[in-house]
Structure formats: C-alpha cells, structure tokens
Structure 1
Amino acid sequence: MAGHQVSFTGRNITVAGLGVSGVSAARALAGLGARVTVVDGGAGEALRERAATLEAEGIAVRLGTDPISGRSAGHTLPEGTDLVVTSPGWKPDSPLFAAAAEAGVEVIGDVEVAWRLRGENAAPWLAVTGTNGKTTTVQMLASILRAAGLRTAAVGNIGTPIIDVVTGDEPYDVLAVELSSYQLHWAPSVRPHSAVVLNLAPDHLDWHGSMAAYAADKGRVYEGNQVACVYNTADPRTEHLVREADVEEGCRAIGFTLGAPAVSELGVVEGLLVDRAFVPDRQKNAQELAEVADITPAAPHNIANALAAAALARAFGVGPAAVREGLRAFTPDAHRIAHVADVDGVAYVDDSKATNTHAAEASLAAYESIVWIAGGLAKGATFDELVTRSAKRLRGVVLMGADRALIGEALARHAPDVPVVDLDRTDTGAMAAAVREAARLAGPGDTVLMAPACASMDMFVNYNQRGEAFAEAVRALAEQDRAADE
C-alpha cells in the first residue's frame, strides 16, 4: 500500500507519557518541525533524567504536580495544543483527554503517528494482535519473511518503537507489526495489508471498560485489510470480528486450526502444517508448509501461533520453503514455555509469561501430567474455568503470591483430590521454596510447570525476574541432585 505522509511541521503537539514510546514520538515529531511538549504526572529520578535529555534537544517537558495549581502535569492540556499523541497505557478516561475533547483536539497514539508518517512506497504492514501469543507470532512471522529474502523487522508493541522504524533510513519490504489493544484504540486510520486476531479472552478490562470494548479495539486491526483477515477457528469471536470489519474488495477470511483444514484454512494433518487457502484449486489441493517438529516448542498454542504467522506470510506471497525455513530458525524469547532442566526424570518448564488465565490454560494443555506452580496478582481474574479444564492434568499444585487463595478456592471446588501446597509468602525467596515443594510432589514423567496465571508485581519487578528466579531455583535443585549422586 502506498504511503500518504502527513505533515506535522509547525503544529503544537502534546505527547502524553515519558516512556519509551513517548520519548520516541517526541523526538520524531520535533525532528519534523513540530513544537512538542511532553507531559507526565510522575516525577521520579528516571523521568527527570529523560526530561533533561529531551529539554537539551529543545523539547519542553512538564513533570509532576504544578506547585501553584496543585494539578498534575498529566491532567492539564498545554495552551495552544492542536494534537495530543498518547502513550499506549494512558486510559481513555484520563483528564488530559477529557480536556482535549472539550477543546476539540484530536488524540492519537504512536502507532497512528507512524502510519501517518509513512512516505511513498512505504513498507506494507502485516499486523498481529490477540490476548496471548502476539510477540511469538510476530517473531515467527519476521523469521519467515527473512527466510524468504525480504527486508523486514518485528516492530510495534514488541519493543522497537514503530515510529523509529518508519522514520529511519533502513528500507524495508514489509513490517511484522505487533499491536496491543491499547495501541489499536488510538489508531483510527491504520490499514494493514493483512492481519490476525489470534484469540480473545478477558484482559485489561479495567482499561477498556468492558469485554465488548476490548474486543472492538482488537477488531480494528482488520479494518481496511487488503488481502487476508486471518482468524482462529477455535475462537468464534475472532471470526465475528472479521465479519464486522470493513475491508478492501477481494480481501479474504482465512482460518487457522489445529485440526485438518477446510477450504480457505491452514491446519495440521498427520504432523504436517498444510495450506488450503493460498493454493490453486483449494477445493481439491493442499500445500505442505512444514512439520510440527519444525516448531519450538511444539505445544498446541505455539503450533497455532505458527499457523497464524504462516497465513500472514502466505498472504504476502511467501513460498512454502521459506515458511519451513523460518519456523525452523525461530527461537522463542525467554520465559515462554521454556524447558529449564530435567531433574530425576522430571521436566521443569518456565512459562512466567503466562500472566493471565488464558495463557496459563494454553500452557497447561501442552503437558499430560503436571505439578503446577501458580499465583501472583490476579488483576480481577477468576480461575474456575481454568481449573475445570485443566484438572485432569494436575498431579499437584504449589501456590504463592498475593492472590493465591483465589486459585486455591477454585481448586477446592473443581479439583478437590489434587494435593495443594499453599506457601504463605510473597517474598522473592518463595520461588526456591515453591520449586522444592513441586519437586516433592512430582515423579518421573511429570512436568513441573511454572505458569502463574497471574501478574508478577506482588513479588517481582516483572515476569522476566520471576522466570529467572524459577530457573535459578531449578538449577540449584539440579546441582544438589548431582552432588548427591557423587
């Protein structure tokens, strides 16, 4: 799709938030000749250092609370503002946006800015969203595109600010773009080449206000798609979003399934990933793309991610050989269903990234006999459905963290025969105790799976630190086992 670059020269733009995306947007817009003011209600040392750096570059920054008015800088619209660019995490009901609405000022996000900055012959976007699996799918997609010889990058919510990529000097053939529901909410004119909603489950409802609003923001990714709207046949809500989307003439609905694919679907047949969507005479023919064994790890939800990535790549014209090569070359990020070690015939797996019930259910479905380490901050989640669906796989459970009682109550209701160890601890050292208790409950052939179904901030800085604590405890256990054998 050709670019349609918009000029920001001479505009008075307020950037909300001094995080990574806010700094990126402020610098890019100032470099394009806009008069930029960054506002943030925080006033910590890290923010002050960022502010000083931007101010040295001629960008105005307002932090903390005004000593005269007593109002937060993040609540006040600077005089003369004619556009607000928000960081993704700022809620739609923030006072700053109410002030903007009252003044008739448009509010957009960094992704929308990037879209408007695209020049002539801009790289098309292949977009990925969903409650879980976004980052893995985008990375798989980028690996496949590179295997096809295309110049690409995995960008967006994945860590690389998309504005930096769009305004940089590096030429790209196509971009693999991860989009969160927050980013999509503030991106009204983004029109990807093709897109996928991987799945939908309750998440971030405090931000969106309702499941319907959350789903609607996810569904924005399908608007204006040119070639393919890819959906999950196991999640009818994703197909509904496709049906509701206003797409380009000729754009197709393409499903992916862990079973045998119907016409216009990708799926799995006898250990093979096959395509019945982007082949001649798809009523009768199918194309082998890869083997399930080419996917690491070959857990069901990761196979689904691979199918979604393959569908987007095929929509862009990538051949079967590149799909296979790209999937084989892909290595998942840390703390995503990562095998740490085997100790006494028990596998220890770190899925600290499973921070909600939907992700934890997918992780639990990958193993037959599990001692489950769970707990943390529930963020308003309930656990009855997760426990009911996973009960038959559980050999034992170790609970820790602030909201562990919620999981314990669900286990008592739906899996009363499963042994449960309740660690009444929320300190970081609790992980070592959790691993020791899990080892006690596990036997040869079992998997000790740390898939907490909760956020980590009650005990850890983030899920990465939680995963590292688990891996360190497992390595210590393995070392003790080796020492005992000597």
Structure 2
Amino acid sequence: MQWQQLPVVVAGLGVSGVSAARVLRDLGAEVTVVDGGDSPVLRDRAAELAGITVRLGDGASLPEGTRLVVTSPGWPPSSPLFQAAEAAGVPVWGDVELAWQLRRPLPGTGEPAPWLAVTGTNGKTTTVQMLASILTAAGKRTAAVGNVGVSVLDAVLAEEPYDVLAVELSSYQLHWAPSLRVHSAAVLNLAPDHLDWHGSMAAYAADKGRIFQGNQVACVYNLADPATEELVREADVEEGCRAIGFGLQAPGVSNFGVVDGLLVDRAFVPDRAKNAAELGAVSDVHPPAPHNITNALAAAALARAYGVDAKAVREGLRAFRPDAHRIALVAEVAGVSWVDDSKATNTHAAAASLRAYESIVWIAGGLAKGATFDELVQGAAARLRGVVLIGADRALVRQALARHAPDVPVIEAAEGHTGAVAMAEVVRAAAELARPGDTVLLAPACASMDMFTNYGERGDLFAEAVRGLTQ
C-alpha cells in the first residue's frame, strides 16, 4: 500500500480508532475519522488529533474519494458506512488487518515476527497470556497482544522488535482481517455469543474459522468441541500444516492431553505413534480447574508448534497467574470457599466454572444478551446447594431453575439496588445458604452493566463484601 496522501476513513473514535488514525497520519495518509456520536469526551479526543479531520455525529456517509476504510472492532457489518464502501468498491480493514499489513522484517531474517493466534468464545485472554509466559520462559521477546495487553498496532511498530507474538483475536477482529495468515492458531471453543453483531451462529462460527485460513504449521482445536474440528476441516492451509487436538483425556497421536496428572504432547515428538513428551503437571496450572487445564494444553500446543521445548512449557505455566475475576479464590470463611468468576459473562463460561466445584451456592443473573439458561441449569443442577439471583434478567434463570432444579433453594437479592449496596446484600444471602465444604461462586452467566460498571467492578465489590464477612 502506498500510504502517502492516500484518503483513508477511520470508523470510530474509540481507543483502537484513535490509535489507527495516528498511525495512518504518521504514514502520510489523509485521514478522516467518522463517529456517529457527539459528546464532550469525543470532542476532547478529536481536539487531540492534530492533522486529522474528525466528523462527529455522522458515522454513515462515506467521504468522496475514500480509498480505504479502517474500522474499530465494534462496528457491525450492517453499518451504512460499510454498505457505502462495498458499493464504491472500497476495502474495509480492521485494526488487526492494518497491523498485519504494516509488519516489518526482523533484523537478520528478512521475515516479520510470526503470530501465534487464539480465538474462541471463552478462555482467549488466559490462553494467550499463558502462551506469552511460555514463550518468555523460552527466552523469546514476546507480548500478549490483540484483544488483550499491548495493542497489536503498537506491537508490530515497536522500536525494539518482538521475536514472536501471542495474539488474541475476537470474532469482530477476524471478520475485518481478510489477508491474515498466521504461523499457527487455536480455536478453544464455540458457543452462541455476539449473534446480534454477526446475525447468526453460522456467521459467528465462520468468522472464528478465519483464524485457520492460510495457517503454516498447526491448526489447534478442542477435542471436546466438534465445531472447532469442523473449522479445521474447512480451512485452506499451507501444505504440511497439521491438525492438533487437545483435551482432558489420554492423547491420541498428534494430540495433547492428560495422563496420570501430567500434561502430555503426542504431536511434536519423534515417532509420535510410540512416544510422548511430558510438559508439566496439572498442578503447574493455576487454578487447576478443568477448563483452565484445556487452556494450558492449547497454549502448550501453539508453543510446541513454534518449537519451544518441554522445559519452557512447564516453567511458563508455573510462572503464570490469571487476571482478576477469572475463577479466583477470594477467601475461605467458616469452611466456605468464596470464588470470583465475574468474567463468566455468558452461559458457556459459567458452565465451565460450575463444573469445577462439587457443592455450589451460585450467584447468577444480570443482562442475558438473548441467552437461554435451560441447558446450563440442567447440567449444574446436581451441584447446586442454593442460588442467589440478581439483575434485570433474573427471571430467565429463575424459570430455568423451576424447570430443572425445583428443589434448590433460591433467594432473590438486591432488587432495585446497584453497586456496593447490592453486592453486600448478595453476599449476605449467599452466606445464609452456604454450609462448610460449599463454594459460593460468582459466575453470573450474564453481563453486568444493569447493576455495575462492568464485570471487573462486579468482581471487586464481591471480593470487598466477602472480606467484610471475615471482619
């Protein structure tokens, strides 16, 4: 791409839009940022973009002469701006596509740093961070980038280049990345999510599957989720690229799995029909919940595809600690464990969390985002000691409980309350239901914005209220 004086439109004045606009300006492009909003915050951001035209209150029309549109991830394909671009034959890229196009060769190699990429409905951030920890243990200059950590644009343009990048990619980002062709990639799982953006489950899955297109070494999939293997089958990859499965059982040939409490590789070893490599122990994974062990196996598979030795895999997993609000033990009070998994904002994530414990007081509810709860409740019913319901769409969870777990005690908490006051009431209700040996689990299966700023605040206030019990 010849950037000098190229007329480019950037869609959205959010964090990624501002970053893309500045990069394009510095490349010499003639940049116009459009945003349908018009607020004091947006005006302040616009004022900081010297040399860039900003049009607020107009996110639909395509400026005459535009040769490229670069979009923020949240803008759906149905946006009028993109329809106008398609009609005019103007390509639309996301920030990931822009970063891919701007990669620079590493000194002495002539090739850009390889990307090891991860997507899936749940577990992406944890897996990418595990992968970055493993690569660091192997002595590589790396970073967790994309939808987490360092901006992918900042990473590819860094003054000191990276050896390899661990890249988290959302379905939004993959939709707008037509030329992406990575070293190796993993799809962790597939469950209904963001269907309002994609339009259908088939479209959502197809965008996730873009991560496998053109893979060079390995397509990593979940043995327990046939939809992820189907995406591998449909992918057009480079000659010699291999399908690598991961799961919690003893691994077959070309797979990763678990044997007698050990993480095992039967893919990247000599004579894999007869041999396997020990990569570490289940106890090296923090926390060792089943879904987190599968995250570790996926990260290990990508690292091994890149050529990392088994010792570095073990050291990287041992060194890793997950971000807050991901199945984190807050405290043990009077024999009851209190666990914050506020990041479980959909039913698929909550189901994984519920499978990790035997006797649970479940805190559930919030904004359902169109989800249904029958399958989730049916699968967890035998483990439920009690349920505390919160949030705007609590009735949907209550109805599923009535159908599939009618004998489980239910307390409706914090009706009409928000923030710290609401969470203090929720924790008191959970304490009434819990008995020694139980786990009180905040895994709401819903978004948080009806009662809290975000899932982080929800988890922080939960932890604060639990610590109040110890006092």
Whether TM exceeds 0.5 here: the answer is yes
1:483 aligned partner: none
The alignment status of 1:19 with 2:14, answered yes or no, reads yes
1:41 equivalent to 2:36? Answer yes
Q: 2:97 matched to which residue of 1?
A: 112
2:274 matched residue in structure 1: 284
2:80 corresponds to 1:95? yes
Show the counterpart of 1:427.
Answer: 418
**Are 2:194 and 1:204 equivalent residues in the alignment?**
yes
Query: Using the alignment, how far apart are the partners of 2:10 and 2:154 within structure 1?
Result: 16
Q: What's the counterpart of residue 397 of structure 2?
A: 407
CA contact (8 A) 2:143 2:166 kept: yes
8 Å contact from structure 2 (residues 417, 451) kept in 1: yes
**Which AA in structure 1 matches 2:243?**
A
Does the 8 Å contact 1:357/1:386 carry over to 2? yes
- The residue that corresponds to 1:69 in the other structure is none
- Cα distance in 1 for partners of 2:207, 2:113 equals 24
Classify the secondary structure of the residue corresponding to 1:377.
coil
Q: What pairs with 1:154-233 in structure 2 (closer than 5 Å)? A: 154-233=144-223
Distance 1:29 1:8 in 2: 8
Whole-angstrom distance in 1 between the partners of 2:38 and 2:343? 29
In structure 1, distance between residues paired with 2:354 and 2:283: 19
Q: Conserved in 2, the CA contact under 8 Å of 1:426 and 1:458? A: no
Q: Distance in 2 between matches of 1:316 and 1:278?
A: 10
Gaps of 5+ in 2: 106-110
Which string of whole-angstrom CA distances, capped at 9 and with x for unpartnered residues, describes residues 251-270 of structure 1? 00000011110100000011
Distance 1:155 1:42 in 2: 28
Instruction: Choose from 412, 424, 437 the match for 2:429.
Output: 437
Where does the alignment leave 5 or more consecutive residues of structure 1 unmatched? 1-5, 65-72, 480-486
RMSD: 0.8
Q: Is the 8 A contact 2:116 2:184 kept in 1?
A: yes
Q: Structure 2: how far apart are the matches of 1:315 and 1:102?
A: 41
Residue 386 of structure 2 is aligned to residue 396 of structure 1? yes
CA distance in 1, matches of 2:317, 2:286: 8
Give the drift of 1:159: 4.1
CA distance in 2, matches of 1:223, 1:230: 12
- 1:278-332 superposed Cα distances (whole Å, 9 cap, x missing partner): 0011111111001010011000000000000000000000000000000000010
Taking the aligned partners of 1:9 and 1:350, their CA distance within structure 2 comes to: 50
Partner Cα separation in structure 1 for residue 272 and residue 89 of structure 2: 51
Q: Deviations over 1:3-52 (max 9, x none)?
A: xxx43222100000011111111111111110001111112222111111
CA distance in structure 1 between the aligned counterparts of 2:303 and 2:4, rounded to whole angstroms: 36
Matches within 5 A, 1:46-125: 46-54=41-49, 57-64=50-57, 73-120=58-105, 121-125=111-115
Structure 2 CA distance for aligned equivalents of residues 51 and 414 of structure 1? 52
Task: Tell me the equivalent position of 1:459.
Answer: 451
Secondary structure of residue in 2 paired with 1:246: coil
- The answer (yes or no) to whether the contact 1:400–1:426 under 8 Å persists in 2 is no
SS in structure 2 of the partner of residue 373 of structure 1: strand
TM-score by length of 1: 0.95
| CA displacement 1:159-214 (0-9 Å, x = unmatched) | 42211111121211100000000000000100010000000000000000000000
Moved more, 96-105 or 147-156: 96-105
Give me the whole-angstrom Cα distance separating, in 2, the residues matched to 1:153 and 1:46. Answer: 30
The answer (yes or no) to whether the contact 2:155–2:162 under 8 Å persists in 1 is no
State the alpha-carbon separation in 2 of the partners of residues 173 and 302 from structure 1: 26
Rounded to whole Å, the distance in 2 between the matches of 1:268 and 1:44 is: 53
2:108 corresponds in structure 1 to none
1:220-278 per-residue CA deviation (whole Å, 9 max, x = no partner) reads 00001010000000000000000000000000000001111010000001110000000
Stretches of 4+ moved more than 4 A in 1? none
CA contact (8 A) 1:124 1:174 kept: yes
| Counterpart residue number, 1:472 | 464
Aligned 8 A contact 1:372 1:449 in 2: yes
* Equivalent residues of 2:174, 2:210 under 8 A apart: yes
Report deviation, 1:426. Answer: 4.5
Matched letter for residue 98 of structure 1: Q
Residue pair 1:28, 1:164 contacting (<8 A) in 2 also? no
Paired amino acid for 2:352: A
